[in-house]
Amino acid sequence: MSESCDGQVSAAEVMAATVPLSYLGVTSLAQMRLIDALEREYGVEIDLGGDVSFLDSLDGLAAWVSAAR
């Protein structure tokens, strides 16, 4: 995540977040980078036309990737 945000949001901040990641400064560009990284790393495809609310939290991301695999 930190790499997708060009280091603007640390891994520790993401792990401790109790607010949506966008509140921490995760931009739409960072989300696109994160999506690309998830698709490459886990062999999944994220449909941007669907519900992508899982992108707002680390728990949501982990649950989505786990279910998609």
pLDDT, residue 39, reads 92
Q: Which domain holds residue 46?
A: 11-68
Task: Tell me what pLDDT residue 17 has.
Answer: 86
User: Which pLDDT does position 26 carry in this prediction?
Assistant: 84
Name the residue among 56, 64, 67, 60 with its Cα closest to residue 30: 56
Residue 18 lies in a domain: yes
DSSP state of 52: -
Q: Are 35 and 65 in contact (CB under 8 A)?
A: no
With respect to residue 4, please indicate whether it lies within any of the assigned structural domains: no
Positions in the chain short of pLDDT 50: none
Residue reference for tokens 């680390």: 58
**Which residues, at least 6 apart from 69, have a Cβ–Cβ distance to it below 8 Å?**
42, 43, 44
User: What per-residue confidence (pLDDT) applies to 9?
Assistant: 79
The number of domains in the chain is 1
* Residue 46 forms part of a structural domain: yes
- Asked if residue 5 is part of any domain, the answer here is no
